[in-house]
Amino acid sequence: MRGSPLVRAFWVWLAVVFLGWPLRSLTRPGGGKVEMGEEKAEPGRQSASDGLSAIRHVELELSFSRPAEWIEVSHLGRTVWRKEKPGSREVQGLEIPFPREGVEFGVRVGWEGDSVSAVRFCLRTAEGEEMERSLWANGNLEAVVSFP
């Protein structure tokens, strides 16, 4: 490379700036793909309750070891899903506030008789994350399922 050391240093600095800028924008937090629990909420899409946690679309899948009579799922004290005579596998999409600490659902399931039954919960986020929980009961079930 020709020129004075000062000119050479300038060319090196220019190269670093050109290469470094896209690298920085790709690697800084929030610059690329949105991370789980750190989603930037769209205006008007925040939780009505606190303005901190964004509303996210999730899918809740329930699978039963034997046919249930009814199911009821509540979120933050409100019933968000109720179904009579559900199939052995049911899926429901939900729009809920999803803080980074996670979410909980109140679950009630009615079965006929008192024999042992199980229900598997699978929560899928729009980002493709999948979390599973299982609960067992003798007779009806009334419990809280926590994700994560």
Partner 1 sequence: MCTVRRAAFWGMLLVCALGILPEGLAEDRPRKLRVSTFSTVLTEVAQRVGGDHAEVSGHVPIGVDPHEFEPKPAVLKVVASADVVLLSAKHLEGYVGKLRQVAAPGARFVEVGSRIPSLWAAGSEGHRSKVEDPHWWHSVSNMQKAVRVVMEEFVSIQPENRAAFESNAAAYGRELEELQRWAKLKVSELPKDRRRLVTSHEAFGYFAKEYGFTVYAVEGLSASEQPSSKKVAELLGVIREQRVKAVFAQDAANPKVLKQVTSETGAVLGAPLWADGLGPGEASTYRGMFRSNVTAIVEGLK
**3-state helix/strand/coil string of 13-60:** HHHHHHHHHHHHHHHCCCCCCCCCCCCCCCCCCECCCCCCCEEEEEEE
CB nearer partner 1, residue 24 or residue 38: 38
Write the CB contacts of 26 (distance below 8 Å, at least 6 apart in sequence): 32
Piece of 6-14, 45-53, 54-62, 119-127 that binds partner 1 (CB under 8 A): 45-53
34 C-beta neighbours (distance < 10 Å), count: 13
Q: How far is the CB of 91 from partner 1 (least distance, A)?
A: 21
Q: Is 40 in the site for partner 1 (CB under 8 A)?
A: no
Among 38, 69, 104, 130, binds partner 1 (CB under 8 A): 104
Q: Is 115 in the site for partner 1 (CB under 8 A)?
A: no
> What tokens appear for 54 in the block?
């964004």
CB nearer partner 1, residue 106 or residue 124: 106
CA distances from 114 to 55, 62, 70, 136 (A): 38, 20, 15, 12
CB nearer partner 1, residue 72 or residue 90: 72
d(CA 11, CA 15): 6
Piece of 16-24, 59-67, 114-122, 139-147 that binds partner 1 (CB under 8 A): 139-147
Interface residue list for partner 1 (CB under 8 A): 47, 49-50, 52-53, 74, 76-77, 97, 99-106, 142-144, 146
